[in-house]
Each structure stands twice: as C-alpha cells, then as structure tokens.
Amino acid sequence: MLYVLYGEDDFSLYQSLEGIKRGIGDQATLEANTTVFEGQRLTLEQIKTACEAAPFLAERRLVIVNGLLERFAARGKSGRKKAGKATKQDDCKSFAEFGSQIPDSTILVLIDGKIKKDNPLLRELSGKAEVKVFYLLRGEGLRQWIQRRVKESGGSISPQAVDLLARFVGSNLWIMAKEIDKLNIYASGRLIEEEDVRQLVSYAQEADVFTMVDAILEFKGGLAEQRLRQLLQQGAAPAYLLVMLSRQVQLLVRARELREQRKSRAEIQDRLNLNMEFVLNKTLEQAGRHSMERLKGVYHRLLETDLSIKTGKYVPELALNILVAELCQQSSLQAAL
C-alpha cells in the first residue's frame, strides 16, 4: 500500500500518519518494523531493500520517506546540464514504477511539505497511491476545527472565544492544540469564554502589545496608557514589555523596507521569521499605515528608554510610563526628529 501525505498543515498530516500506524496492528512490534528515510539522497535500491524485507514477528512493516517529492520539484532556470535533468527524470520514473510493485506486507508513506500539483513524482504516483493534501486551515475551517477539538477534549467554547482564539493563534495547529488543552483544564467543565482566552493564551499579551503600538504610533495617549496599565496589572514585566515594543517596532521598520523593495508576502514572512499568521498580518498592516520616519523615531526613543533603565536613571515601570506619554505627544516627537 502506498500513501502520499503532503501539505503545510503538518499537524493534521502527522495525525493522519498516526492513524495509518494504528491501522497496521500491534503497536508493540511496529517500531521494530519501521524504517525512516530522508528522500533527498535516497536511492531506489535502498527503498526496494526496505520495502521487500519480510516483517519481523508481524504481518506488516512500515517505510516512511520524508521529502522525496520535493527532490523532484522544478527549480526554475539553472545552469545544470541536460544530462543531469535527464537523470533526474529517469530517477523520478523509476521511483514511480516501484510505487506499483510494493509488496502487500509493506506500507510505504511519502511525506512532504508544500508541494505544487504539477510535481513530476506526484503526477506519476497519483493513480497508484492514496494521496492526502493538508492545507493550512483558515477562516470557517479553522473555527470548526477549534470547536471540534474542544468538544473532543471534553469541553465547550463560546463563538466569541473561538473567534479570538483563531485570531490570536492562527493556523499553527500544534500550538492551537496546546492552548485548547490549557483552556479546557482552566475552565474545568464550564464554557470557555472570551476572557479565558485573553487571560490564558500565550499570544493574548502580544495582541495587547500590538494595540499599544498602534495607539503610540497614532498619538492616542489615553488608549496607549490604558493598554500599558492593563498589561502591568496582568503581571507583564516592564522589561518584557519594553522588549516586545522594541521588537515589534523593529519588525515594522524591516517590513516596510522589504515592502518598498517589492518583496513578496512569503519572502517577508521568511525574512522576518514570523511563523504565526496573526503576527504577520498585524505587522504588515501596521507597517503599511505608518511612515518610516515615525517608526524610526519611536524605535530610537525605545532604545533611549532601555538605556535609562539599565543605567538606573529610572525604575522600569516609571520609564515605560514616561516613554508612552512622550511618544504620544506630536510636538515632542517632531522636536526629537
């Protein structure tokens, strides 16, 4: 039996892989009958040897190959010789032909990340394998997944809490599953509400920092001071808040520079190392609404505040309050610039 599992949602992909493992039978003997390969350097002879080996004290054996489809993905224009390209095509056909020769005693699973539908090996294997694609969940699909996960874990959640959780965590289901487990334990049988998400989810404070950054950049002193006060009351350390503010403004500067260089969204995400969709979306939105002069002015003032704390000029909480008050005064900023 041949499976092809690929896509960006690696959480659901590996859940599917675990389902395949459970379907094989005795899990105690499965480990001794499992072989894992990295596909980039795998030879046809290696995979044949593994697949054709008889299971040890079991009916089935499992062979898992990571990244074999990616190996045959088109790389665009290059200076490679045609002979090399021909060899790659031959290898692709050889692996595809073996896909229909797998012994009944072996289950072969090919695992990959994001793969284009015109991938040569994927095309060749489509009629010979059970192919499952795992796209990142967004919008209604993500909300439905959250509701289902909460219910399967023995809990219940309000629609408002679902929306907030989806906005804070986004499509990373590994993190989402952990946050849901935390919320279920905290709620202890009652309905998970919006306030529970705000108090417990790791990204809630980061979302409040985004709101504070927005207020500062837009000279909304009252809102910025309110957010700062709330974060401090929730137990956020002043040093942590200063680091988060500095990090976010630095990201905005870099994001704006990359946008001016006409870099794609995917490239900006990679350059800034922003894995969370919520964080990426908010960063791009903020970077597009504020001038480079304003961003750099705020960033330099943050550095000055950090120095004033480290030299003992101000205690951290007082330094933060002074910083927010000064940054939200248009005249003070213009004088500084």
Domains annotated for the chain, with CATH where assigned, are 2-133 (3.40.50.300), 145-200 (1.10.8), 203-336 (1.20.272.10)
Q: Is the pLDDT of residue 84 over 70?
A: no
Question: What's residue 281's pLDDT?
Answer: 84
CA nearest to 59, candidates 4, 103, 3: 103
C-beta of residue 113 within 8 angstroms of C-beta of residue 6: yes
Residue with more model confidence, 233 or 30: 30
Residue 295 C-alpha from the chain's centroid: 26
Largest pairwise CA distance in the chain: 80
Mean pLDDT for the stretch of residues 212-221:
86
Give the phi and the psi of residue 47 in degrees, each rounded to 5: -70, -35
Q: What pTM value is reported for the model? A: 0.63
Split at pLDDT 50, 70, 90, the class of 333 is very low
pLDDT at 91: 84
Q: For residue 57, what pLDDT band results from cuts at 50, 70 and 90?
A: confident
**pLDDT recorded at residue 334:** 47
CB neighbourhood size of 153 (10 A) = 13
Share of the chain above pLDDT 70, in %: 92
Least confident of 31-45, 199-213, 277-291, 318-332: 199-213
Rounded to whole angstroms, how far apart are CA atoms 54 and 63?
Answer: 12
Listed in order, strand segments (DSSP E) in 67-178 are 106-112, 130-133, 156-157
CA dist., res. 170 & res. 176, Å (int):
8
